[in-house]
Amino acid sequence: MRRIEREKVIRNAYRSTILALTICCFFLGALLVIHELARQHEVKKLNQKLEAKGVVQNDEGLFAGVQLFLPEEIYVASGVTIELYNQQISSLGEKIGNYNVKWTCAVGRNMQRKFSITGTDELIGEYPLIFTVFDDNGAQVVTASTTLKVVPGLGEKDQSFSLLTLGDSLSCHTATYERLNELTDNRIIYMGTRGVGGSLTEARRGFSAANYLAETEYTYEEPHENIHPFYNRRTESFDWEYYKRTTGFDPDILEVFLGTNGLDVSPVQNGDNIIRIIQNVHENDPDLPIYLVHTLYPADQDGIGSWSNKHGYALYGDRYKYEEDQKVFNLMVYLQEQLSEEENLYFVPAGICHDSANNFDTQEVLLNPHSEETEMVAVDAIHPGRAGYRQIADCLYSVICGTKAEWE
């Protein structure tokens, strides 16, 4: 009898164990299904984010170490030459030279270090433009594409328009405004409380977006300011409506050219400050067209390492080219991603359309202290020469020509 009861207890225990294991299996299976669905969701979000950044998946489904950035469209006005530089659309910077690359387009020139296109009336239209990177075995590593839009330049029937530039020292060179006047036949009316040559602006040397958001004085050059005119002491903030009311300026379009001051490997703080300015303007003036200019890549390492003040102190003593390029690349990607849905905002891709390898002023120096041979070294790591500022103007003008019909 006891034996029967013992067997019964064992059978019941066995059944309970089997039931418990079955329940555990179902539970673990459910957890695995939920985990897999969550993983797929995260992968989908990652893919969307990477696509928004212009980071493209290769054929094997693996993300390569090469990241590319191209805006959704590239504008080229008739009569203007626009160039896209390989090392400035890539996260690798100068290291892109270790790969084989090509540009594919029905128009323009696929050159060794760039794509070059001169707009003409005969070429007006839209063209797919593809950039592809290959390894030494000919295998595709990564690719990115954009739409190249060749558009008419401003004609005699186009009306004048007013422009206010909010920027830093990269907006403080007369060559930009001279070139814009040349391209537009002096149709631009410049606005601002400061001046560059004969053009009014709101450009301040050394200013970052953070400076414009704060109660910041400006004493770098005359006239000195106890506080810049965008800051409203009553609201303790950047205030576009306050600026318009107190200065009387109400431009047709606004150019924002910031980013160099405040650059960091992480683009978040600097980028968010630029975004706050744009959002404040559009909160008060939602229909105002804003042209956001991507900041420039610096000179080469010789230029970075040689740049010093008048007393001989190094200005960029601890910086190096690759990291500085990464800072610019990351900020371009971040701003494009965060502001992709912002209405009445147009990106001006000066960062990828400026020849940073050749546009900085140089001086002749000895190869070493006892050499009779010399080389040319950039004298400024951040501010290009006249050719660079004219290239920026070509880029801005082309985007204005391609989008002007949307806000006229």
The pLDDT tens digits of the residues spanning 297-348 come to 999 999 888 877 777 777 777 889 999 999 999 999 999 999 999 999 999 9
Same domain for 367 and 258?
A: yes
**Quick check: is 143 in a domain?**
yes
Residue 57: what pLDDT? 43
Q: Are 161 and 403 in contact (CB under 8 A)?
A: no
Could you tell me which residue, 190 or 46, shows the higher pLDDT? 190
pLDDT above 70: percentage of residues in the chain: 84
Say how many Å lie between the first and final Cα of the chain, rounded: 101
Residue 313: what pLDDT? 79
Q: Model pTM?
A: 0.84
Cα distance between residue 98 and residue 92, in whole Å: 10
Q: Which residues contact 174 (CB under 8 A, 6 or more apart)?
A: 196, 197, 199
Window from 11-15, 28-32, 179-183, 276-280 with minimum mean pLDDT: 28-32
Neighbours of 157 (CB within 10 A): 5
Residue 317: what pLDDT? 77
Which residues constitute the domain of residue 24?
1-53
Structure tokens at 381: 């790591």
Residue 35: what pLDDT? 53
Could you tell me which residue, 103 or 44, shows the higher pLDDT? 103
**Quick check: is 305 in a domain?**
yes
The mean per-residue pLDDT over the stretch 267-283 comes to 98
Same domain for 105 and 12?
A: no
**Quick check: is 88 in a domain?**
yes
The mean per-residue pLDDT over the stretch 196-213 comes to 96
Q: What is the pLDDT of residues 94-121, one digit of tens each?
A: 999 889 999 999 999 999 999 999 999 9
- Residue 406 DSSP label: G
Q: Which residues of 23-58 are buried (b: 16+ CB within 10 A; e: fewer)?
A: eeeeeeeeeeeeeeeeeeeeeeeeeeeeeebbbbee
Identify the band that residue 168 occupies on the pLDDT scale cut at 50, 70 and 90.
very high
Window from 7-16, 247-256, 379-388, 398-407 with minimum mean pLDDT: 7-16
The mean per-residue pLDDT over the stretch 264-274 comes to 97
Same domain for 45 and 85?
A: no
**Quick check: is 332 in a domain?**
yes
**Quick check: is 58 in a domain?**
no
**Quick check: is 61 in a domain?**
no
Torsion sign over Cα 378, 399, 275, 88: negative
Residue 46: what pLDDT? 46
The mean per-residue pLDDT over the stretch 216-233 comes to 96
Q: Is the pLDDT of residue 180 over 80?
A: yes
Residue 52: what pLDDT? 43
Q: Which of 126, 151, 176 is the last residue of a domain?
A: 151
- Which of 84, 118, 119 minimizes the C-alpha distance to 101? 84
Q: Are 205 and 331 in contact (CB under 8 A)?
A: no
Same domain for 134 and 232?
A: no
Q: Which of 102, 126, 151 is the last residue of a domain?
A: 151
Residue 27: what pLDDT? 63
Same domain for 325 and 364?
A: yes
**Quick check: is 60 in a domain?**
no
Q: Which of 151, 186, 202 is the last residue of a domain?
A: 151
The letter for the amino acid at 188 is I
Count how many domains the chain has: 3
Could you tell me which residue, 137 or 53, shows the higher pLDDT? 137
Q: Is the pLDDT of residue 157 over 90?
A: no
Q: What is the pLDDT of residues 49-101, one digit of tens each?
A: 444 444 444 444 333 478 999 999 999 999 999 999 999 999 989 999 889 99
Same domain for 193 and 281?
A: yes
The mean per-residue pLDDT over the stretch 31-45 comes to 54
**Quick check: is 236 in a domain?**
yes
Q: Are 130 and 105 in contact (CB under 8 A)?
A: yes
Mean pLDDT rounded to a whole number for the chain:
88
